[in-house]
């Protein structure tokens, strides 16, 4: 027999994605305010990269991401209904409004935030390059690889986006009817496989971004966690 009510600890267990997201944001925001580390030994903290000048844009791009939207609409707003499972605490009396809801309409701007996200990616690769040559000569350090991992994780997330899939081929009904349709279909097929892992890329990129910030803060605190190859 299914249960109609959940104890608080059961709700936390069911909403682990949301609560982990809130915990990471709270921890990261607190550290950023208390211990700013814009640059250290040639390392530019991604949180203080030039992207910080237009912080609302990457923030809205991430918040409007389909992967995150699925989680917070289901686990916070309990909408739309996935199935009639009372253990999920869903509101069965709430009608599904599709994309007529004003909030959904706003999230449709995600495709425009995508353009800004693509434009910001080169900054993270520049941060990696800067860490290699900041001393006047080339040197590869562990921190440089951490910055590269952050740039690659963000790239994987951005280009696996559903909106990007639509741009490169999802808006075509007939590939054989357009010039270069065969090549475009191949690119679309590859991105479709990538897109199937978009949610994984979204969470991994967020964790890597925060881990990079924490790594540089560890260096700033004097921890011996960096070395040259």
Cα separation of 42 and 177, whole Å? 51
Among candidates 210, 191, 62, which has minimal Cα distance to 150? 210
Taking only the tens place, the pLDDT of each residue in 86-126 is 555 555 555 555 556 666 666 677 777 888 888 888 989 99
pLDDT of residue 77: 60
pLDDT of residue 99: 57
pLDDT of residue 91: 53
| pLDDT beneath 70, residues of the chain | 1-18, 21, 50-56, 70-107, 170-171, 173, 175-181
Taking only the tens place, the pLDDT of each residue in 2-28 is 344 343 444 444 556 667 767 877 777
Q: How many CB atoms lie within 10 A of CB 77?
A: 12
What phi and psi values does residue 196 have, to the nearest 5 degrees? -65, -20
pLDDT of residue 152: 96
Structure tokens at 120: 């910001």
pLDDT of residue 43: 92
Collapsing DSSP to helix, strand or coil, 82 comes out as coil
Report whether 210 contacts 28 (CB < 8 A).
Answer: yes
Collapsing DSSP to helix, strand or coil, 120 comes out as helix
Axis-axis angle for helices 198-220, 142-159 (nearest 10) = 150
Collapsing DSSP to helix, strand or coil, 9 comes out as helix
What does the chain come to in residues? 229
pLDDT of residue 151: 94
Whether the CA torsion 138, 139, 140, 144 is positive or negative: it is negative
Report whether 147 contacts 212 (CB < 8 A).
Answer: yes
pLDDT of residue 6: 42
Alpha helices in 48-109 (DSSP H): 56-63, 66-75, 102-107
Chain centre distance of CA 87: 28
pLDDT of residue 175: 66
pLDDT of residue 7: 38
pLDDT of residue 170: 66
pLDDT of residue 2: 39
Direct distance between the N- and C-terminal alpha carbons of the chain, in angstroms, rounded to an integer:
60
Cα separation of 116 and 110, whole Å? 10
């Amino acid at each position: 027999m299914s249960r109609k009510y959940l104890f608080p600890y059961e709700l936390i267990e069911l909403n682990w994605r949301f609560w982990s997201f809130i915990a990471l944001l709270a921890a990261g925001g607190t550290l950023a305010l208390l211990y700013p580390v814009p640059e250290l030994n040639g390392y530019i903290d991604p949180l203080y990269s030039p992207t910080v000048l237009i912080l609302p844009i990457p923030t809205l791009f991430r918040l409007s991401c389909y992967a995150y939207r699925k989680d917070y609409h289901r686990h916070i707003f309990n909408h739309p209904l996935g199935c009639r499972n009372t253990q999920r605490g869903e509101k069965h009396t709430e009608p599904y409004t599709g994309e007529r809801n004003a909030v959904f309409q706003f999230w449709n701007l995600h495709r425009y935030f995508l353009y800004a996200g693509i434009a910001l990616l080169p900054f993270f690769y520049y941060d990696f390059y800067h860490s290699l040559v900041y001393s006047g000569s080339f040197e590869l350090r562990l921190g440089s690889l951490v910055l590269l991992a952050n740039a690659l994780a963000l790239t994987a997330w951005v280009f696996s986006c559903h909106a990007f899939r639509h741009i490169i081929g999802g808006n075509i009904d007939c590939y054989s009817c357009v010039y270069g349709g065969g090549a475009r279909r191949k690119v679309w097929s590859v991105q479709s496989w990538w897109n199937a892992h978009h949610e994984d890329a979204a969470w991994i990129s967020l964790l890597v971004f925060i881990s990079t910030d924490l790594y540089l803060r560890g260096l700033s605190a004097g921890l011996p966690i960096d070395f040259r190859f």
